[in-house]
Structure 1
Amino acid sequence: MTTIRSARTVATRTVSRAALVLAIISIMPPIATAGETEAKTLLKAMSDYLAEQKAISFQYDTNLEVVTKDHQKLLLASSGKIEMGRPDKIRATRHGGFANVAITFDGKTLTLLGKDANLYTQVEVPGTIDHLVDELRDTLHRPLPAADLLLPNVYDELMRDVVDVKDLGSGVIGGTECDHLAFRAKDLDWQIWIAQGEHPYPCRYVITASQVDQGPQYSIQISDWKTGTDVVADDFGFNNATKAKQVDLKDLVDIDELPNHFSVGGTK
């Protein structure tokens, strides 16, 4: 009984301290305009750096929050790798608890491979990577991880509809010191951590659906960042090494971060 009472006392004190911190944060004066200017400058520098890179590869880990009808938050985690050659070649993998997927694009043909089922589908989508990103999101409903960060003008894409900007100082992601920036748009909040130094690549990107009940988040953390000659991928065509069976897109199930048995707006 004493142990339980002690644990409750510690918990109460911890919650009280947290509430005090939140109260202090809520009454702090707004960050100066200079902080907003600096944040925009840092984001623009990242955007310019990314646009200059002709070849990029990185590992990533994602977390996708979903909220049930009874307000329970569930976290779906996955990992993968992206290799990209501008302007029109990309290879991406994603492995999570519900899907093990590979995506290849050679400038003409998009191939989606479900590794566990050993099934694949192909779609003709000639064009650049930014065109592919739009097609995957709007037409095929199979968005790429970190898609916002792969476009040729990241700054303009991210700053669309932004109404508030904050420079939160520095943070450390995976051992790399980063500039931590926070932005508020009309329908969502987002944060980004940008590596300090001469290679200002994104280390973590978090999106919060502020207008959705419970504010679910999507986050991606980037590691093993490489550019230029350090990127080894040169063949972005589909190599059917496992003799996978070709099927229609509708028959290629469980290749999204949100698995098929999770029903949006439903009861599951």
Structure 2
Amino acid sequence: MEVCNGLRRTLAKARRPAVATHRSVDGAAARGATTMLRNVVQTAAFGVLVGFATLSTARADEPAPPFKPAISDEAATAISQMGKTLHARDLSVTARTVSVYLDEFGQPLHIFHTIKIAARRPDRIAVKFIGDDGRHDLFYDGKAAAVFFPDSKKYMTIPASGDIPSALDEIGDKLDLDFPLGVLFAGSPDEVLLDDTMAAWQVGTATVDGIECRHLLFSQKSGIDVELWVEKNDAATPHRLVVTYPLLQGQPSFVAEFTSWTTELPLSDSEFTFEPPADVKKIDPTPAVASGTEGSR
């Protein structure tokens, strides 16, 4: 599974330790950590691609047998129920996240965030990030996206359009900002998850914040392991997500725990529109926007 265009781009963004980090605003330490992890990911990805290319050439004359994922009935039912729950028009949730990876000396590092999310399908989302690399607020109202950095009293805006996953992709490309939980707001989050699944089953049950949950494991074609803890009922609301990259050095991982789910109360339009305070400064987006090309990642 690769994390904001559906699950593939969205969970892959979890490889980056700094969630919603902008190079021109945040500290050098966060930038260095991000660059270091990117190099590891890119090197591993290149090796996987070369291996697959060689294998494809060697077996070009052999017909590929049809692949049928081994998905248990329990896992399929629970994920389908979760997809229906997350397809609510209005959603709000708080997530506590941690990204774990090795630094250049082989020591494990942990980057923590608290993320508050409000969304209205198909094209409204507001996200507040508070974490080790500072605070960042993201707003998208269907026409434009704004990112506000309260600590430095700066903000930037770009035109944006489309549904939530499309807008998050555009924001990620143009502003070099990552939002690893965008999959929750894909059109069909359950289908996006299952599309890359080789095998899935229920490991057992566990209690998360006092709520009995099914513990589900998904082994992905891309070499990534995804674990989900969803309520053991017809809603199957997710309460914990763990993504592990076993093929990468140190097996980096991303963990999110969800609380305060709301899917019924309608959200106001003002939730998704940024009104800059009088004492803040507008800054230019990254050079990638000005040049029309993707910046260095």
Which residue of structure 2 aligns with residue 127 of structure 1? 162
Aligned-partner residue type, residue 200 of structure 1: A
Which residue of structure 1 aligns with residue 218 of structure 2? 183
Output the CA distance in 1 between the equivalents of 2:278 and 2:135. Answer: 14
- Work out whether residues 83 and 233 of structure 1, in 8 Å CA contact, stay in contact via their aligned partners in 2: no
Alignment of structure 1 residues 249-260 onto 2, 5 Å: 249-250=285-286
Question: How many angstroms does 1:35 deviate by?
Answer: 7.3
Output the CA distance in 2 between the equivalents of 1:223 and 1:108. Answer: 29
Of the three residues 200, 215, 218, the one matched with 2:251 is 215
Question: How many angstroms does 1:138 deviate by?
Answer: 4.3
Cα gap change, 1:248/1:171 in structure 2, threshold over 3 Å: closer, same or farther?
same
Equivalent pairs counted in the alignment come to: 218
Of the three residues 79, 101, 105, the one matched with 1:43 is 79
- Work out whether residues 35 and 167 of structure 1, in 8 Å CA contact, stay in contact via their aligned partners in 2: no
Which residue of structure 2 aligns with residue 96 of structure 1? 131
Aligned-partner residue type, residue 155 of structure 1: D
In our comparison, the structure showing a higher alpha carbon Rg is 1
- The alignment's TM-score, normalised by the length of structure 2, stands at 0.69
Output the CA distance in 2 between the equivalents of 1:199 and 1:161. Answer: 23
Output the CA distance in 1 between the equivalents of 2:252 and 2:268. Answer: 35
Output the CA distance in 2 between the equivalents of 1:244 and 1:173. Answer: 40
Question: How many angstroms does 1:233 deviate by?
Answer: 4.0
Aligned-partner residue type, residue 64 of structure 1: S
Please list every run of 5 or more consecutive structure 2 residues that lacks an aligned counterpart in the other structure: 1-68, 288-296
Residue 249 of structure 1 aligns to a residue whose secondary structure is coil
- Work out whether residues 70 and 198 of structure 2, in 8 Å CA contact, stay in contact via their aligned partners in 1: no
Cα gap change, 1:232/1:108 in structure 2, threshold over 3 Å: closer, same or farther?
closer
Output the CA distance in 2 between the equivalents of 1:34 and 1:58. Answer: 31
Which residue of structure 2 aligns with residue 77 of structure 1? 112
Which residue of structure 1 aligns with residue 151 of structure 2? 116
Output the CA distance in 2 between the equivalents of 1:65 and 1:34. Answer: 29
Question: How many angstroms does 1:119 deviate by?
Answer: 0.6
Of the three residues 196, 199, 212, the one matched with 2:235 is 199
Output the CA distance in 2 between the equivalents of 1:48 and 1:71. Answer: 42
Cα gap change, 1:135/1:187 in structure 2, threshold over 3 Å: closer, same or farther?
farther
Output the CA distance in 1 between the equivalents of 2:175 and 2:183. Answer: 17
Q: Does 1:225 align with 2:261?
A: yes
- Work out whether residues 129 and 135 of structure 2, in 8 Å CA contact, stay in contact via their aligned partners in 1: yes
Which residue of structure 2 aligns with residue 243 of structure 1? 279
- Identical-pair percentage: 24
Question: How many angstroms does 1:74 deviate by?
Answer: 0.6
Question: How many angstroms does 1:117 deviate by?
Answer: 0.6
- The alignment's TM-score, normalised by the length of structure 1, stands at 0.76
